Structures are given as C-alpha cells and as structure tokens.
Chains A and B, each alone.
Chain A
C-alpha cells in the first residue's frame, strides 16, 4: 500500500500523453520567439533589463502555469470515464493522488521552464548560476496555487468545457499578473494585481535578476491562495465523488 506505484504511473501517464506534453512545452516557446526574436536588442527601461530577458521571465511564468494546470485535464478525463469513482472504493487516499498530480504537474512545468530559459540564452540572455536557480526555485513554489486550480477544475468542470475554462483562466492570470508585460506600474490596480499568485510568479524572475527583491508580501499572497485552494480542492473532491 505504498504511494510510490501510484506516483510512478501518474508520471508515466502524464509523459505518455505526448500531444498535451508537447503543446505545453511548445506554447510559451513559440510566443517567446515570435515576440522577442524581433526585439532582441531592445531594452525595457522600466525594468532595467533587456527585452529578451524581461519577456523570458514572463513566458517562463506563463508556460509553467499552463503546464501546472494540465493534470486537471487528466483528472477530468478519468472522471468522465468513471475512474475517479472506481478509485473511491480503493484504499487510495485523495492526498496521495494529489501528491502524484502535483509531481506530474512539475514534471511538465520544469522542462517548460528550462526550454524557455534556453530560448532566452539563444537570444543573448546571460545570467549567473545562482540567479537561474533562484528564479527557478521561486517559480516552482509560485506554481502551487495553479496545480490546485487544475485539480479543482478537473473535479468540477464538465470535460467539454474544461479546455476553454482552463485557457481563459491561464490567460487571465498571465495577463493581469504581467506575464506579457506589466499592465500597471502604480495605483490601485497595481495593489489589486499584487494579490494574484501569477504576479509573484512573474515577479520571481525580476526578484532573482534585479535586486533580490522578494518581499514577505509575495510569500503571504502565495500562502493565502494555497490556504484558500486546499479546502476548495477537498470540497471539490467530495462534491465530485459524493463522499459524505
């Protein structure tokens, strides 16, 4: 009754879903090259970095979000097939399943990050090892709320509505979080978007590169989202499986 087999097969299934995997990896890469390759010598004065570097942090966040929410799709398929219900009459615990789904999300998110970083390097981005690591670490931590969102949607949203719902959600968070360029640099709206987990996902790059600026506020926002989404995920699980 160990969790290892479940985790192993969850990762295997994620990896075998080649098309989803490939598309998750390709999307941020394509957007990155399409936008940044023509502006490789541009400079973003507001941020104080080159455009390829600036946009790389945004696309890393976007790609990672897209990848992290993905296991929700597999969950929805399993649900549509009645498999989640079948699992409910086995000793498998929901938390083991969520652990496996989280690891599977990272299995897709991590290469997505690495590919966007490599793309950045081809456009002239040069960073120290510590910066690459700090940026990656902060991004991966910032992904937790998105993994949870994927699970919640996978439990609650009808399979045929899932793709548009997830697409909207990721684009919403990416856009307002500033993955395509920050929309607000001051004022009330900046305060509002700072409450989004995606703001901090995008900010992870800036924090690592510029001034090591990762305030407590970032941790608090991510912790609040996580704290709010975990019970929601539990509720979604119960609602979905009819568990009393």
Chain B
C-alpha cells in the first residue's frame, strides 16, 4: 500500500514552466526474488531542484536511483530524465553520478582519472578546478589505489563533479567521510547547486537532508512516506505534543479536534499527540477556553524520521486531511 503524502508539487505531472522535469518517475516498482524493494514510487523533480532521498538502509533509495539512471530496469512504471529515457539522457551527457558501491580503477593517478571521466562529457569542468573544489589538489598525482576511504570517496565525488552534467545523482555521497570532510563536501555541493544543477542525493543522515536539500523525499519500505520541505516533514510526523492542564473534556471530544492523533489523560493533565499542531492549538483554545499551562513541543526531524519510517505494527493511525 502506498501511503499518499504527496505535496501539490509532486502531484502535478507537468511543470508550470512547461520545461521537461529533471526526473519524472511514475509508478516504479522493483522486486528482487521475493523482496519487493520498491513498491510504487512517484517522483517528479524539477530542473535546478536539490532533493534528498532520505531513508533507512534497505528502504529502496539505491534501487530507485538505479532505475532513474537506467542501471536497473523497473518491473513496472516509467522514468524519464529531462523528458527522455534515462539511457538517452546518459548518452547525451546530461547525467553525472556517484554510485554507492565501488572503488576506483587501478593503474591511474587521480588527475588522470578525472581527465578520463571529463573526456566522456560534452562540457566538463576543468580538472584543476575540480581538484581544488574537492580539496584534492595535493593528491592529484596519487595513485587511485593508494587512498584512504575518505579520500577515495572524495575522488568519487570529484568524478561526478567534473562531468558538469545538468543532473547530478549522488548515492550516499558522504558515507565514510569524517565530519570535517563532510563539511567541505557540502560546501562544494552548495557551489554546484548554485550553478543551476539538478541535484538528487540519497542519505540516511537527517541533518544533511535538512541542511542541504530544498525538499526531502522520505522513503521507507519501498514507498514514499513523505515528500516536502523539511519543516513539512516534521509537521507530518505527528510527533508534536501539546500538554495542557484541562480538568474537563472527555477523550473523544479531544480526539475530535483537528490535527490530533492521540490523547492521553493523567489526572488534570492532557497530552495530545498532533499531526498538525498548528490546527490543533487554536481549536483547543476555542473548544476549551478553560485550558491552562499549554506547552507545545516540536518534534525533531530525528523523531519525524523514526515515526515515518517505523514498521507499522497496526493499521496506520488516521490520516489527517490538510
């Protein structure tokens, strides 16, 4: 079952500007043997958008990326990249990527590797420029096989960068990079995004998705469970809690308030778990003017993430209309 949590942006299949979407994936599914890795993903990404695919390991992020890149054929559904099939976009040099797995080819120096990859593309960046941006200038003459894990990861990022392709797809780009390196990485990425690239990256680091992406697509168990700006994701998670002192009011009427998903009463204290605290608060004041000591705690993105990606143990709580 697909839990629909799409924003108006993704619901539309044509962009307002009329230009082809950077990525348009409709109804993608993919199974490996008995495991359903992706179960119906609809994703439309506009040109120049920076989107994080956020989800735990095994959520289907990499399979989705592989289908978008044309590396894996979907069981059902369709994908286009800048309005053409992935293979055509790849062949035209519109796509630069950094796959999750893999190491670098041997018997090459870093500068040579970047020169090689640049030669495949119609309008690559200068190799020296890319070396500088990725902090690899000092390692330019190093053999690709003589690098630490973090250095190799930076080289892999540099190979994606040097393509200067309009769409950059990065699967877990900062895996294995230390905190400082990660900071440098996102600095470099900000530069790229500012140049009008469409950037899609997969991550399971919440703070990266929050800090860097225009939009977060939360994937769990092969489906998109939420899609929107980081703030919207947090709101969707139902992890905002309102506590108040309220001697009156039965549970049913509290639960009937808009945006409220769960109610607990401890003596005179009520605890409302809200999907939409913005709607619940004014309704609470209106319905129960005697309410006192109201506290609203915003959930962290971490909580939102856990909430939205948790294995459902029972039927989903009621979906709240927006």
- Taken together as a complex, chains A and B put the C-alpha atoms of A178 and B74 apart, in Å, by 49
Q: Is A1 in contact with B107, judged by CB distance below 8 angstroms?
A: no
The reply to whether B99 and A6 contact each other, CB–CB distance below 8 Å, is no
If A5-B115, A5-B119, A91-B120 touch, whether A81 touches B71 (CB-CB below 8 Å) is no
Taking the closest CB of chain A, its distance from the CB of B143, in whole angstroms, is: 10
Q: Is A168 an interface residue (CB 8 A)?
A: no
Given A243-B87, A244-B73, decide whether A81 and B103 contact each other with a Cβ distance below 8 A. yes
User: Looking at chain B, what size class is its interface with the partner chain?
Assistant: 20 to 34
Is B93 at the interface (CB under 8 A from chain A)?
yes
User: Across the two chains, which residue of chain B brings its CB closest to A88?
Assistant: B71
Q: Let me know if B121 and A85 touch, CB within 8 A.
A: no
A90 in contact with B117 (CB, 8 Å): yes
Residues of A close to B308: CB separation below 8 A: none
B101, A5: Cβ atoms under 8 Å?
A: no
Contact B90 A241 (CB under 8 A): no
Structural contact, B71 and A92, CB atoms closer than 8 A: no
CB of A5 within 8 A of CB of B72, answer: no
Tell whether A85 pairs with B95 under 8 Å between CB atoms, given A13-B107, A91-B120, A241-B71: no
Query: Which of A17, A86, A93, A242 sits near B99, CB closer than 8 Å?
Result: A86
Q: Which of these, B71, B96, B102, contacts A83 with CB under 8 Å? A: B102
Give chain A residues whose Cβ lies under 8 Å from the Cβ of B93. 1, 90-91
Q: Which residues of A contact B104 (CB under 8 A)?
A: 81, 83
* Interface hits, A175-207 → B, CB 8 Å: none
Tell me the bound Cα distance from A24 to B108 in angstroms: 21
Instruction: Report the interface size class on chain A.
Output: 20 to 34
With A91-B92, A91-B93, A243-B70: A6-B120 Cβ-Cβ less than 8 Å: yes
| Interfacial residues of chain A within 1-16, with CB under 8 A of chain B in the complex | 1-2, 4-6, 9, 12-13, 16
Q: How far is the CA of A2 from the CA of B118 in the complex (A)?
A: 10
1/0 contact string of A75-99 vs chain B (CB within 8 Å): 0011001110110111111000000
Given A81-B102, A83-B102, A91-B91, the answer on whether A13 and B120 have CB atoms closer than 8 Å is no
For residue B106, CB closer than 8 A to chain A, the reply is: yes
For residue A193, give the distance in angstroms from its CB to the closest CB of chain B. Answer: 37
The interface residues of chain A lying within 8 Å CB-to-CB of B87 are 243-244
Query: Is B108 a contact of A82 with CB atoms below 8 Å?
Result: no
A9→B118 CA distance, assembly (Å) = 13
User: By the criterion CB–CB under 8 Å, are A9 and B112 in contact?
Assistant: yes
The digit string for B116-133, where 1 denotes a CB below 8 A from any CB of A, is 110111100000000000
Task: Report yes or no: A242 in contact with B92, Cβ–Cβ below 8 A.
Answer: no
Q: Let me know if B120 and A82 touch, CB within 8 A.
A: no
User: What does the 1/0 interface line of B75-100 toward A look like (CB < 8 Å)?
Assistant: 00000000000010011110111010
| Alpha-carbon distance A9/B115, docked complex (angstroms) | 10
17 A-B pairs within 8 Å (CB atoms) are namely: A9-B115, A9-B116, A12-B107, A17-B107, A77-B106, A81-B103, A81-B105, A81-B106, A83-B103, A86-B97, A86-B159, A88-B71, A89-B71, A89-B90, A89-B99, A90-B120, A243-B70
**4 A-B pairs with the lowest CB-CB distances in the bound complex, closest first:** A82-B102, A5-B119, A16-B107, A13-B107
Binding site for B on A (CB under 8 A): 1-2, 4-6, 9, 12-13, 16-17, 77-78, 81-83, 85-86, 88-93, 241-244
B residues apposed to A, CB below 8 Å: 69-73, 87, 90-93, 95-97, 99, 101-108, 112, 115-117, 119-122, 159, 163, 169
